[in-house]
């Protein structure tokens, strides 16, 4: 027998345990008992749960068995209790009392739990596979990050408790009168819903501080099995006329059931919710506040987190960016809480049955395409119920849903007139990788500034010429005050060997912006790729990945994913505000590690990307005025991206365009008084040019996440005030 208790909680006068148990064979059954101090039986509630992850790890196959359990029993403080688990003739006895539970919840115990997690069979198996695939260095780095708890400075529960509205604020919200108080119709498709979960959802709506709402439940449960839903909803309807319910007499599928609920709705705004999730008390208030503050918008979405099966713990918060169309084609990041104005819903149309499994994804695409304005509420307004001990259990069993998601993305591209070859599975199920059709074979001018470092430059150029699958390239090497004879001999040899390589000479002082502008003036290509000389191509489809985005009319610049020599991330997009001005995301994370909601491996829009490898249209470059030469060394690429965005164009990060960047071999550190002074001047220049984003925060980041690290950790409550963007003080 093997077992594990994943979660232990005291809630008022009860203890809840979540865990799993298995025997020698899959058909082995576990029995449970709870005893008090006098060894007398204690009545308890037991709910079996699927744990496909456990089945797959220990039996090497997924079985249709409930290996997990949720157990709840009455608890009197100061007394001790025993959980007895019997399986295959063996009995395990686990003691619980308040002191033991507090001890197990201590910081030290959490650290030991992490070590224990590293040693259990599941993690050992995963670690061995990870080590085989990515090497011992990568495994060591991943283990180090796990043990050090680098993801967050805070436990999410602690963070949430410190940031949620207190009772005084909730009372204030209940009394507030908005200029506009729209009726919100909360539409809920129900199907074989457990009574406990349905009641928790209804109770969470009843507790809302904003009162102008109605609930529309359409039940698709088969005859006989819908009685509990009907019984629950009839009870709520008797207590409050805002609850409405209809039995559909059979299952119409997720799309059909949801459409039936929408047909019941009379509100000006439709809010979508699932039958077994919950809303925090202030959810509808925040939506009403957003509607009043942004009447031009007709689609609203919020951040969300997950709720464990017994409703006692919140975890895995998803703090999202403002509307990010390219991220949406990589993953359905919008999800919950989604509020759509009725007029928009009628323009976009309801849910489509042919996308069942990804029906909400398709619906969101059509709504965002037709929306007049989209507003993101950067607060957790939705608790999505799922099992804390299980992540993506047996994802292949939901392959139909992922395939439906792929079709939803393709349909979106077709409606938008974007030519696509295919949409494939990305780094994980539910994450997508788009292959765009390249229009023709346009010439790309690769512009590389260089001062000596002939070997680095040669590696850069040859790696592209030998490995890149795209061939219509020219290279404009901008010679910048080299002093070594070897460099000039190399220039002569490389031009003789490769006629598509040209050398142009910059004869003034070093100025990165001016040098690249000078190089661009010699470029004959329709597209420009600005590239550092200390880079090396990894992905042969580098140019196709970049061109696929850059050819779109709504895109002005595209950046690549760059790795250090040890395969850790050097660049995966730029957030304005990191480190005070701007910084790269996920620095130092091994490329094989999971980033925050897989963001490092999702194509998406950012405020900026690095010009160490950045593609842009030549026409856009000229219209933007090139790089700002007042920024001689720092922030010129960020500034260029900001200029592009001010033109109404997108800056895209393309994760499958992959290179090594050996970084800063060509230029010394900022270690002299003169260089430090120049750097500070350029900070002031950037701050003067783009004060709004520094004052208001980066729209492609989330104000609940830290600006002090690049890993999207929770914002430090002691050092950074939640809800206020980073304000940079610069003497201009």
Instruction: Give residue limits of the domains in the chain.
Output: 2-102, 167-387, 406-436, 444-696
Q: At residue 136, does pLDDT exceed 80?
A: no
Tokens 């950074």 identify what position? Answer: 720
Of 450-464, 524-538, 657-671, which range is least confident?
657-671
pLDDT in the model for residue 169: 96
Assigned token pair, 189: 């498709």
Partner residues linked to 318 by β-bridges: 304
**Which CATH number describes the domain made up of 444-696?**
3.90.550.10
The residue among 393 and 93 whose pLDDT is bigger is: 93
pLDDT in the model for residue 721: 55
Of 151-155, 331-335, 463-467, which range is least confident?
151-155
Q: At residue 89, does pLDDT exceed 50?
A: yes
pLDDT in the model for residue 32: 95
| 8 A C-beta contact, residue 134 and residue 563 | no
How is residue 725 annotated by DSSP? -
* Averaged pLDDT for residues 526-551: 97
Tell me how far apart the alpha carbons of residues 243 and 186 are, in angstroms, rounded to a whole number.
Answer: 10
Q: At residue 233, does pLDDT exceed 60?
A: yes
* Averaged pLDDT for residues 637-657: 97
pLDDT in the model for residue 145: 52
| 8 A C-beta contact, residue 575 and residue 587 | no
Distance of CA 622 to the CA centre of its chain: 34
Q: At residue 534, does pLDDT exceed 90?
A: yes
pLDDT in the model for residue 49: 77
Partner residues linked to 424 by β-bridges: 433
Give domain 167-387's CATH number out of 3.90.550.10, 3.40.710.10, 3.40.50.880, 3.90.180.10: 3.90.550.10
Q: At residue 447, does pLDDT exceed 60?
A: yes
pTM to 2 decimal places: 0.79
Give the E-state strand segments of 401-441 in sequence order.
420-425, 432-436
* Averaged pLDDT for residues 526-534: 97
| 8 A C-beta contact, residue 582 and residue 608 | yes
Q: Tens digits of per-residue pLDDT, 381-395?
A: 999 988 544 333 444
Tokens 């912006």 identify what position? Answer: 513
Q: At residue 665, does pLDDT exceed 60?
A: no
- pLDDT level of residue 109 (50, 70, 90 thresholds): very low
Of 13-22, 370-379, 568-577, which range is least confident?
13-22
Look at residues 90, 82, 98, 64 and name the one whose alpha carbon lies nearest to residue 5.
82
Helices then strands (H, E): number in the chain? Answer: 23, 29
Percent of the residues in the chain that have a pLDDT greater than 90, as a whole number = 64
C-alpha pair distances (Å), 357 with each of 346, 354, 415: 22, 9, 21
Measured at the CA of 675, the angle between CA 674 and CA 678, to 5 degrees, comes to 90
The residue among 668 and 208 whose pLDDT is bigger is: 208
Q: Tens digits of per-residue pLDDT, 552-570?
A: 999 999 999 999 998 999 9
Q: At residue 615, does pLDDT exceed 80?
A: yes
DSSP-based three-state secondary structure for 144: helix
Class of domain 2-102 as given by CATH:
mainly beta
Q: Is the dihedral of CA 324, 328, 334, 339 positive or negative?
A: positive
pLDDT in the model for residue 669: 45
Q: At residue 111, does pLDDT exceed 80?
A: no
Please, which residues have CB within 8 angstroms of residue 674's CB and are 6 or more apart in sequence?
Answer: none
Please provide the distance, in angstroms rounded to a whole number, between the alpha carbons at the two ends of the chain. Answer: 69
Q: Tens digits of per-residue pLDDT, 570-606?
A: 999 999 998 788 999 999 898 888 899 999 999 999 9
Percent of the residues in the chain that have a pLDDT greater than 70, as a whole number = 86
pLDDT in the model for residue 607: 97
Tokens 């010129």 identify what position? Answer: 636
Q: Tens digits of per-residue pLDDT, 184-215?
A: 999 999 988 888 899 999 999 999 999 999 99
Tokens 């050996």 identify what position? Answer: 662
Tell me how far apart the alpha carbons of residues 20 and 70 are, in angstroms, rounded to a whole number.
Answer: 9
Within 10 A of 572 (CB to CB), how many other CB atoms are there? 28
* Averaged pLDDT for residues 366-375: 97
Is 167-387 the same fold as 2-102?
A: no
Q: At residue 229, does pLDDT exceed 90?
A: no
DSSP-based three-state secondary structure for 226: coil
Look at residues 584, 570, 555, 577 and name the one whose alpha carbon lies nearest to residue 662.
570
- pLDDT level of residue 132 (50, 70, 90 thresholds): low
Q: At residue 666, does pLDDT exceed 70?
A: no
Assigned token pair, 66: 């409930």
- pLDDT level of residue 7 (50, 70, 90 thresholds): confident
Q: Tens digits of per-residue pLDDT, 140-149?
A: 555 555 544 4
Distance of CA 70 to the CA centre of its chain: 29
* Averaged pLDDT for residues 174-184: 96
């Amino acid at each position: 027998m093997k077992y594990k208790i994943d979660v232990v909680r005291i809630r008022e006068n009860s203890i809840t345990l979540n865990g799993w148990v298995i025997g020698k064979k899959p058909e082995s059954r576990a029995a449970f008992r709870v005893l008090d101090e006098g060894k007398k039986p204690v009545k308890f509630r037991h709910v079996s749960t699927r744990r496909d992850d456990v089945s797959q790890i220990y039996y090497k196959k997924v079985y249709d068995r409930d290996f997990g359990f949720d157990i709840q029993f009455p608890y009197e403080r100061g007394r001790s209790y025993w959980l007895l688990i019997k399986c295959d003739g063996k009995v395990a006895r686990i003691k619980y009392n308040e002191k033991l539970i507090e001890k197990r919840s201590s910081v030290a115990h959490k650290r030991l739990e992490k070590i224990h997690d590293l040693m259990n069979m599941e993690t050992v198996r995963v670690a061995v596979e990870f080590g085989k695939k990515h090497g011992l260095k990568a495994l060591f780095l991943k283990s180090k990050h796990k043990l050090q708890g680098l993801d967050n400075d805070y436990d999410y529960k602690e963070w949430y408790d410190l940031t949620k509205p207190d009772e005084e604020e909730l009372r204030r919200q209940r009394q507030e009168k908005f200029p506009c108080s729209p009726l919100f119709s909360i539409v809920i498709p129900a199907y074989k819903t457990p009574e406990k979960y349905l009641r928790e959802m209804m109770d969470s709506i009843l507790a809302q501080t904003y009162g102008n709402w109605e609930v529309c439940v359409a039940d698709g449960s088969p005859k006989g099995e819908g009685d509990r839903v009907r019984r629950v909803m009839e009870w709520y309807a008797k207590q409050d006329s805002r609850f409405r319910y209809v039995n559909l007499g059979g299952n119409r599928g997720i799309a059909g059931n949801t459409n039936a609920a929408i047909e019941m709705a009379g509100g000006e705004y439709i809010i979508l919710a699932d039958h077994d999730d919950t809303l925090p008390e202030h959810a509808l208030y925040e939506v009403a506040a957003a509607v009043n503050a942004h009447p031009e918008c007709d689609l609203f979405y919020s951040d969300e987190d997950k709720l464990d099966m017994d409703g006692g713990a919140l975890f895995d918060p998803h703090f999202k960016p403002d509307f990010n169309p390219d991220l949406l084609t990589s993953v359905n990041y919008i999800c919950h809480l989604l509020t759509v104005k009725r007029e928009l819903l009628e323009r976009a149309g309801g849910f489509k049955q042919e996308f069942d499994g990804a029906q909400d994804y398709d619906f969101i695409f059509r709504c965002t395409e037709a929306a007049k304005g989209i507003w993101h509420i950067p607060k957790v307004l939705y608790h999505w119920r799922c099992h804390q001990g299980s992540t993506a259990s047996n994802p292949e069993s939901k392959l139909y849903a992922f395939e439906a998601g792929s079709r939803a993305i393709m349909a979106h591209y077709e409606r938008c007139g974007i030519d696509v070859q295919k949409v494939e599975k990305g780094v994980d199920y539910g994450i997508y990788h788009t292959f765009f059709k390249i229009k023709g074979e346009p010439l790309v001018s690769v512009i590389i500034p260089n001062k000596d470092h002939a070997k680095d430059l040669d590696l850069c150029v040859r790696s592209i010429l030998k490995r890149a699958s795209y061939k219509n390239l020219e290279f404009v090497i901008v010679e910048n005050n080299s002093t070594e004879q070897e460099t000039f001999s190399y220039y002569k040899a490389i031009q003789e060997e490769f006629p598509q390589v040209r050398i142009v000479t910059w004869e003034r002082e070093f100025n990165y912006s001016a040098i690249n502008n000078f190089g661009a003036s010699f470029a004959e290509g329709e597209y420009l790729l600005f590239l550092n000389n200390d880079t090396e191509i990894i992905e042969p489809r580098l140019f196709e990945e970049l061109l696929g985005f850059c050819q779109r009319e709504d895109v002005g610049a595209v950046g690549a994913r760059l790795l250090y020599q040890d395969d850790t991330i050097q660049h995966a997009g730029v957030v304005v505000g990191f480190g005070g001005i701007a910084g790269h995301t996920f620095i130092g994370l091994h490329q094989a590690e999971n980033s925050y909601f897989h963001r490092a491996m999702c194509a998406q829009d950012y405020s900026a990307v690095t010009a160490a490898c950045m593609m842009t249209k030549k026409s856009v470059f000229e219209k933007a005025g090139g790089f700002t030469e007042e920024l001689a060394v720092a922030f010129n690429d960020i500034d260029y991206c900001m200029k592009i965005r001010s033109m109404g164009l997108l800056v895209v990060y393309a994760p499958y365009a992959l290179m090594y960047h050996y970084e800063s071999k060509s230029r010394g550190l900022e270690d002299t008084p003169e260089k430090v002074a120049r750097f500070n001047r350029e900070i002031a220049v950037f701050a003067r040019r783009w004060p709004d984003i520094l004052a208001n925060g980066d729209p492609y980041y989330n104000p609940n996440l830290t600006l002090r690290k690049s890993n999207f950790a929770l914002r430090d409550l002691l050092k950074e005030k939640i809800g206020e963007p980073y304000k940079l003080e610069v003497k201009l």
